[in-house]
């Protein structure tokens, strides 16, 4: 199968220039970006003479061109009735004569959605010459165009690079048998075959070309100055790209199927998911939960009742969803239903069923230590003193700062306007690699559950991620209680820079398998309906109390009192607390700074537990978050 003609055979710059010169009434929607960040797709709509033409593509320019092609094929169709010798130059007048109806009412929706296909089929379009570098050329200025600046390095696809670098060869593409949910395309260069997996053929093709470039640039000295930086970056990609692509693909597939009441809820820049696998078999991979988000709680919305989510960064939110999933699976096990957990005879301790593993996918490097040095670092800078420092997120903003100088934060201080400090995702990942994903309360029932692997879709730098998630502490931490360790998950990642996102969504989505979607407003830490999130402190603590009740552990928990306080619950597990203290004192002893906790007042809320006849039952005062 030869896919070589795919949209590369159009002189896009001429097309854009002609279009801008002739169509003065054009108006454009803002760009919408979707899909995994290492292979995003852009959508844009062209409004012209009362009609709308949608274009999708791997770059903003490609999306624009596809929208223009939609318009052109539309006008050609309109003119076909009476004119047999249409040319693009006559579009404008032909349009005026023939097309007075709304496209949305007359064109099947699939045409707008599959503009990429439409482009491929528009072979009548004049072809002047091949131009593989069109993505690097800037648009001519136009009052109607709002093109945000992009990182130029990102604008060239691996397909274009491969074709230009090997311009003397005919490259052949083959569509292989599908691998589960994914499309498989291979490209043959100099007699060797390079395979790519993707959620559609286009993505698979791009990845096949990327894999070809990676392999070939190792063996041939490809001396192409134009793509020097990008080729170097491809070489620093790490691990099995098939697995990252697969995780990205199944995550995106679920996300795209979610139903949002408003488009603004769907926009995101960071997405993370946790994937369950059995026996390391990719076919068994199942997304358990996913989340999008880049926001933290505003100090104005702190809750003394544990009702606000403090941290809605995607990876943090998805791990809270995983805890909710663990509670559900533990309850299933208690009831004797199929579950990922197996209990001992008196149902007081559980362990994961054999061969079940959990894998984290994030479309970009975690904020903080793992990300902050990724941009332009060189090997000799790796041991600088500033490396390894604990960092905290900025309230109401992107990025992180070193926590140096901060030891603690107070409730009244934050209430008066001090910023609310939340530790970076990188630091929390380090914590999960020592304390486990299950957190404090669940440690009373299960041994630490560690991430088997971490896959990162962009800005991955092996040295930095390794140092971040275990390297900076592994030789200094030594007094961990039984069952705790410094865990070293498998790492994979793409080094490419993510698309610069100018939209920082205020909304954070989370989804849990068989529980559906919940949308959070990050700054208030509650759902868009102003209700408690199902994964806030109170909600998860209530799940814990339910589990204690179901396993007859409630009496020991509350020591025969009716009420129980959240912070006292958290002090009960001595091993967990000892492991946590060891980790935090290790950070301190290495001069990496102090882990800044939330004000104590936010943890000392009361959980309501009621008695019903002889059995102690969970008494929910929290119907809002039951869904």
Interface positions with Zn ion (CB under 5 A):
313, 367, 425
Nearest approach, Cβ of 425 to Zn ion (angstroms)?
3
Nearest approach, Cβ of 366 to Zn ion (angstroms)?
6
Nearest approach, Cβ of 313 to Zn ion (angstroms)?
3
Nearest approach, Cβ of 314 to Zn ion (angstroms)?
7
Nearest approach, Cβ of 363 to Zn ion (angstroms)?
12
Which one, 65 or 271, has the nearer CB to Zn ion? 271
Q: How far is CA 52 from CA 26, 65, 74, 205, 382, in A?
A: 10, 14, 11, 29, 51
Please state, in angstroms and rounded to a whole number, the distance separating the CA atoms of residues 462 and 439. 26
Three-class secondary structure of residue 177 per DSSP: strand
Residue 315 designated active-site: yes
Of the candidates 13, 22, 200, the residue with the CA atom closest to the CA atom of residue 113: 200
Judge whether 498 and 38 are in contact, CB under 8 Å. yes
Which one, 314 or 519, has the nearer CB to Zn ion? 314
SS3 sequence of 369-403: HHHHCCCCCCHHHCCCCCCCCCEEECCCCCCEEEC
Of the candidates 217, 253, 256, the residue with the CA atom closest to the CA atom of residue 234: 217
Nearest approach, Cβ of 420 to Zn ion (angstroms)?
15
The one catalytic residue in 203, 206, 307, 315 is: 315
Which one, 391 or 546, has the nearer CB to Zn ion? 391
Please state, in angstroms and rounded to a whole number, the distance separating the CA atoms of residues 508 and 255. 13
Which one, 357 or 461, has the nearer CB to Zn ion? 461
Which one, 334 or 367, has the nearer CB to Zn ion? 367
Of the candidates 389, 390, 484, the residue with the CA atom closest to the CA atom of residue 432: 484
Please state, in angstroms and rounded to a whole number, the distance separating the CA atoms of residues 161 and 230. 9
Tokens of 381: 């800078």
Which one, 59 or 294, has the nearer CB to Zn ion? 294
Tokens of 332: 């299933």
Burial of 120 (0-12, 13-18, 19+ CB in 10 A): middle
Which one, 313 or 534, has the nearer CB to Zn ion? 313
Judge whether 98 and 46 are in contact, CB under 8 Å. no
Nearest approach, Cβ of 99 to Zn ion (angstroms)?
48
Q: How far is CA 215 from CA 2, 49, 169, 385, 556, in A?
A: 22, 49, 17, 35, 60
Active site residues: 315
């Amino acid at each position: 199968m030869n896919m070589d003609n795919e949209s590369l055979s159009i002189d896009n710059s001429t097309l854009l220039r002609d279009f801008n010169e002739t169509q003065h009434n054009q108006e454009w929607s803002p760009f919408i970006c979707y899909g995994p960040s290492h292979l995003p797709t852009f959508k844009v709509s062209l409004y012209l003479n009362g009609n709308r033409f949608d274009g999708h593509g791997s770059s903003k320019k490609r999306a624009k061109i596809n929208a223009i092609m939609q318009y052109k094929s539309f006008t050609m169709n309109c003119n076909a009735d009476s004119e047999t010798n249409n040319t693009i130059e006559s579009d404008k007048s032909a349009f005026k004569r023939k097309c007075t109806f709304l496209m949305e009412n007359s064109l099947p929706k699939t045409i707008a959605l599959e503009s990429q296909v439409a482009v491929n089929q528009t072979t009548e379009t004049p072809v002047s010459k091949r131009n593989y570098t069109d993505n690097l050329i800037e648009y001519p200025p136009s009052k109607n165009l709002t093109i945000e600046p992009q990182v130029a390095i990102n604008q060239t696809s691996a397909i274009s690079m491969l074709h230009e670098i090997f311009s003397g060869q005919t490259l052949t593409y083959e569509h292989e048998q599908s691998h589960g949910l994914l499309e498989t395309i291979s490209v043959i260069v100099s007699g060797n075959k390079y395979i790519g997996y993707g959620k559609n053929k286009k993505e698979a093709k791009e990845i096949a070309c990327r894999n070809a470039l990676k392999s070939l640039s190792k063996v041939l000295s490809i001396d192409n100055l134009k793509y020097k930086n990008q080729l170097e970056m491809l070489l620093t990609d790490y691990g099995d790209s098939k697995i990252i692509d697969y995780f990205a693909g199944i995550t995106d597939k679920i996300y795209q199927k979610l139903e949002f009441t408003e488009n603004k809820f769907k926009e995101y820049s960071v997405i993370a998911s946790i994937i369950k696998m059995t026996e390391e078999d990719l076919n068994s991979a199942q997304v358990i939960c996913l989340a999008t988000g880049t926001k933290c709680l505003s100090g104005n919305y702190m809750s003394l009742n544990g009702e606000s989510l403090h941290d809605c960064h995607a990876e943090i939110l998805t791990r809270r969803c995983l805890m909710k999933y663990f509670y559900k699976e533990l309850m299933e096990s208690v009831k004797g239903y199929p579950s990922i957990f197996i209990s001992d005879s008196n149902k007081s301790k559980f362990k994961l069923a054999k061969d079940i593993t959990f894998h984290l996918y994030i479309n970009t490097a975690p904020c903080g230590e793992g990300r902050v040095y990724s941009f332009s670092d060189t090997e000799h800078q790796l041991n600088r003193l500033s490396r390894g420092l604990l960092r905290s997120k900025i309230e109401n903003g992107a990025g992180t700062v070193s926590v140096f100088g901060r030891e603690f934060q107070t409730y009244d201080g934050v209430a008066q306007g001090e910023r609310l400090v939340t530790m970076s995702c990188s630091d929390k990942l380090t914590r999960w690699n020592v304390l486990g994903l299950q957190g404090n309360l669940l440690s009373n029932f299960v041994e630490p559950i560690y991430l088997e692997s971490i896959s990162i879709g962009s800005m991955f730098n092996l040295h930095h991620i390794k140092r971040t998630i275990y390297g900076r502490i592994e030789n200094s931490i030594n007094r961990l209680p039984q069952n705790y360790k410094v865990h070293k998950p498998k790492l994979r990642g793409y080094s490419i820079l993510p698309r610069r996102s100018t939209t920082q969504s205020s909304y954070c989505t989370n989804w849990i398998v068989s529980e559906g979607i919940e949308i959070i407003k990050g700054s208030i830490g509650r759902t868009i309906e102003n209700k408690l999130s199902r994964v806030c402190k109170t909600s998860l603590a209530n799940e814990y109390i339910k589990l204690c009740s179901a396993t007859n552990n409630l009496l020991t928990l509350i020591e025969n009192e009716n009420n129980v306080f959240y912070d006292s619950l958290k002090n009960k597990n001595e091993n967990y607390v000892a492991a946590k203290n060891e980790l935090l004192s290790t950070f301190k002893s290495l001069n990496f700074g102090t882990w800044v906790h939330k004000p104590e007042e936010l943890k000392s809320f009361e959980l309501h537990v009621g008695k019903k006849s002889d059995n102690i039952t969970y008494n929910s005062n929290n119907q809002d978050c039951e869904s």
